[in-house]
Structure 1
Amino acid sequence: MVSERALQVLRAIVEDYVDTREPVGSKAIVERHSFGVSAATIRNDMAMLEDEDLIAAPHTSSGRVPTDKGYRVFVDHLAELRPLTAAQRSGIASFLEAPGDLDDVLARTVRALTTLTGQVAIVQYPSFARATVSHVELVQLGAGRMLVIVVTDTGRVSQRIAATRVDFEEDEIALIRAEIGSLLVGRPVRDGLKRIAARLDDPGLAATDRVAATSEIVRVVAEELEEFRQDRMVMAGAANLARRENDFRGSLYPLLEAIEEQVTILRLMSEMVADEQGLAASIGRENEPFGLSEASVVISDYDATGSRARVGVLGPTRMDYPTNLASVRAVARYLTRLLEEDESGR
C-alpha cells in the first residue's frame, strides 16, 4: 500500500505528464506543487509508487511516467471532473441545437465531442429492436424508382430508393402504402419484420410486374427494418490519432482497423461497466482482449426515449481524463435532453 501523500504525488505526475508529454522528476514536482517536503522525500514516494507499478521510468536516469495501472488509480480515486467552461457549453449547444433527424443529431454530436476533446469521438446508436414503426411513406421519383421512408417512434428515419422498374398511379401507391402500413404501423420492429417476411414468402401472389414491383418495395422496407436492429455507431476525429502518433508506444494499425470495422469498438463500449453517474473508462492493457491495448476509451450513457446507448472518446492512454470524462458526460446529458424534447414535441 502507498501513503496518501504518495497518491497525491501520483496525481501530480499524471497531470504534469499529460500537460508536458515529458517524464516527471522529483525536482519538477517540488517546483510545481506545494507538498512542503524536500525532493528527497518526493523521491521516496516515487520509489513507493514504482514498487506498486503505478509509475515507470521510460529511460535510464529519466523522470517517471504513469503506467496503465497508475492511470487507473488516478481515474478511480484521484481525478476530479473539471467543469466545462461557459464557452465549451455554448459550443456544445451550437452544434446540437439545430433540428434534425437522429442521424443528423448524432453526426453533429461526434463533431462537437471531437472538437471539445481532440480525441476520436464515438456515439453508439440506441437499439431500435423494440422501437415501434410509426409511419411509412412512399414517394414516386419516376423512371421506375420509389423513395421508401420508414419512421419509428424513437425518431429514427430511414430513406431508401427501391428500383421498381415501373411507375405507379397515385391510387396504386396509396394501396401499396396502406398494405405496408397494415403490416407495420403501430407494431414493434421485430414483429414487423416477421410480418414482412411472411408477405414476401406468400406463394399465392401472381407473378406480374406490378406485384414484383410491390414486392421490391416491401423487400427494401424489410432491409431497413433489419438495419434498425443492428448495432451501429458514428465516429469523427480519426485524424487526431495521426496527430498524436508519438503518444502511442506501438503501431496505430490496430486502432485504425478497429475504427474501420467498428464491431470491436462497439463490443468494448457495450461491455464497459459504468458508475452511478453513467461514466466509465477502459485504459490501456484493460483493452488487450479487444486488440486495443495502446488506447483508452472514456464513455458516458445517454438515454434515447427509454433506450440506453453510449457516447465516448477513444485516444492514447496519455489523455486528459478529467476533462474528457466531463466532456462526454456533458454531451451525453445534452443529447438526452435534446432527444427527450424531440420526443415530447412529436
Structure 2
Amino acid sequence: MNAEERRFAVLRAIVADYVATKEPVGSKMIVDRHNLGVSSATIRNDMAVLEDEGLIAQPHTSAGRIPTDKGYRVFVDRLAQIKPLSAAERRAVQSFLEGAVDLDDVLRRSVRLLAQLTRQVAVVQYPTLTRSTVRHCEVVALTPARLMLVLITDSGRVDQRIVDLGEVLTDDDVAQIRTLVNKALTGRQLAAASAEVAELPNQCPPHLRKVLTSVSTVLIETLVEHPEERLVLGGTSNLTRSASDFPGSLRQVLEALEEQVVILKLLASAQDTGNVTVRIGEENEAEDLRSTSVISIGYGPGTVVGGMGVVGPTRMDYPGSIAAVHAVARYVGEILAGH
C-alpha cells in the first residue's frame, strides 16, 4: 500500500480501537493489534500527518490519539459499501417486523429493533400524509341510511369514518358511490384526491347528489387533516451508558431529542430510500446535537413517506449502525408495499 492508503489504514485502526475501548490510541497499540507491516516509528509519522490534517487529536492527558469529527467523516466517506447484516440478523429483523399487526406496531417494533441493534437512540417518523397516495376507499353500508368509509393509503395508514345520510340507499346506490369515489381517489396524492372528491356531487346522477355531498365532505376532512407530525423514540437510556462521550451535557442532547421539531427536521432531509445520510458532530445544525452523530434514511413502499434513524455519540460503530438503519428501513418499506 502507498503512504496515503497506509495513513487511512492507521486512521481506520484508531477509529476502530477508540470506538471499542473508549481509550486514546497510541502507535504501539496499532502495531500490536493491526498487522500493517510497518514499524512503530512509521506509524508515529503517519499519526503526525493525520494530526496536522485535523483528522485525529491528542487529548491533554494522554499520549494516544482520538479521531476528530473530520476524521470520522473521512472514515465514513471511505466505507465503500454498506456492510450487510449477517444472515441470522436479517432473519431476526424480518421475523420481528413481520409479526406486526398494523402501522403503529410496525413503527414501534422498528424503533425497538434499531435501538437494540445499534445500542443508540432510535427515531422513526410517522408517514407524512402529504406524500401519501390513496390506495383504495372501501364503502360499506352499515344500515341502509349509514355508510362507513375506510380510506387506505400507500403508507399503511387506515382511516375509518361514519356518514349518516338521512336517506335510504339501495345496494346498487352503494355500489355506484363506491365506484365514483374510487375513480376520484385511487392512485392520487392526498391534495389532488381532495380536489377530485370536491367535484363528485356535480358529476353524479341527480338522485345521489345529496348523499355524495355528505360523503365528499367527510372524505375531504380526512384527506386534508394534518395531525401533528409524530415521532416514535426508543432506547434513550442507551445514551446514559455513554454519558462521558458528551463533553457539554447529556441533558442538552436529551432535551433536543424531546424537541420533536429538531428531529423531524433531521429526518426530513432523508429523501431517498436507498441512501443513508450521516451527520457527524459539528455538521448537525442543531447546537444541542453537536456532540452526537445522526444516521438517517428515508423509508417507504418505493417512494419515501417518512424518515428513520439513530442518534448517538460521535464515538459510535458507524459501519454497524449504518447497516442496521439501512436494513430496517428496507424491511419496513417492503411491509408497507405488501399491506
Q: Matches of 1:68 and 1:13 in 2, distance apart? A: 13
Deviation at residue 250 of structure 1 after TM alignment: 1.5
Tell whether 2:276 aligns with 1:279.
yes
Q: CA-to-partner distance for each residue in 1:145-164, whole Å, 9 max, x for gaps?
A: x9985422x153345799x9
Q: How many residues align?
A: 321
1:237 pairs, out of 235, 238, 242, with: 235
Paired letter, 1:57: Q
Q: Matches of 1:139 and 1:294 in 2, distance apart? A: 56
CA contact (8 A) 1:299 1:311 kept: yes
Which residue number corresponds to residue 202 of structure 1? none
Deviation at residue 12 of structure 1 after TM alignment: 0.2
Superposed, 1:1-346 pairs within 5 Å as: 3-78=4-79, 81-124=82-125, 125=127, 127-132=129-134, 134-135=136-137, 150-152=151-153, 154-158=154-158, 185-186=185-186, 188=188, 189-193=190-194, 224-227=222-225, 231-271=229-269, 277-289=274-286, 291-307=288-304, 309-340=306-337, 342-343=338-339
CA contact (8 A) 1:268 1:290 kept: no
Paired letter, 1:330: A
CA contact (8 A) 2:267 2:297 kept: no
Paired letter, 1:156: G
Deviation at residue 48 of structure 1 after TM alignment: 0.8
Tell which deviates more after alignment, 21-30 or 60-69.
Answer: 60-69
Q: Matches of 2:325 and 2:175 in 1, distance apart? A: 41
Paired letter, 2:21: T
Deviation at residue 262 of structure 1 after TM alignment: 2.0
Tell which deviates more after alignment, 265-274 or 188-197.
Answer: 188-197
Q: Matches of 2:83 and 2:124 in 1, distance apart? A: 22
Q: Matches of 1:137 and 1:25 in 2, distance apart? A: 69
Which residue number corresponds to residue 207 of structure 1? none
Q: Matches of 1:218 and 1:62 in 2, distance apart? A: 72
Q: Structure 1 residues 95, 240: closer, same or farther in 2, change over 3 A?
A: same
| TM-score normalised over the length of structure 2 | 0.76
Paired letter, 1:66: P
CA contact (8 A) 1:269 1:299 kept: yes
Paired letter, 1:67: T
CA contact (8 A) 1:11 1:74 kept: yes
Q: How large is the RMSD of aligned CA atoms in angstroms? A: 4.0
CA contact (8 A) 1:110 1:123 kept: yes
Aligned residues with identical type, % of pairs: 45
CA contact (8 A) 1:134 1:186 kept: yes
CA contact (8 A) 2:272 2:299 kept: no
| TM-score normalised over the length of structure 1 | 0.75
> Helix, strand or coil: the match of 2:285?
helix
Deviation at residue 52 of structure 1 after TM alignment: 0.8
| Alignment gaps of 5+ in structure 2 | 201-212
Deviation at residue 59 of structure 1 after TM alignment: 2.0
Q: CA-to-partner distance for each residue in 1:307-338, whole Å, 9 max, x for gaps?
A: 45433211111110001111112222222222
Q: Structure 1 residues 60, 290: closer, same or farther in 2, change over 3 A?
A: closer
CA contact (8 A) 1:91 1:112 kept: no
| Alignment gaps of 5+ in structure 1 | 141-145, 200-213
> Helix, strand or coil: the match of 2:38?
coil
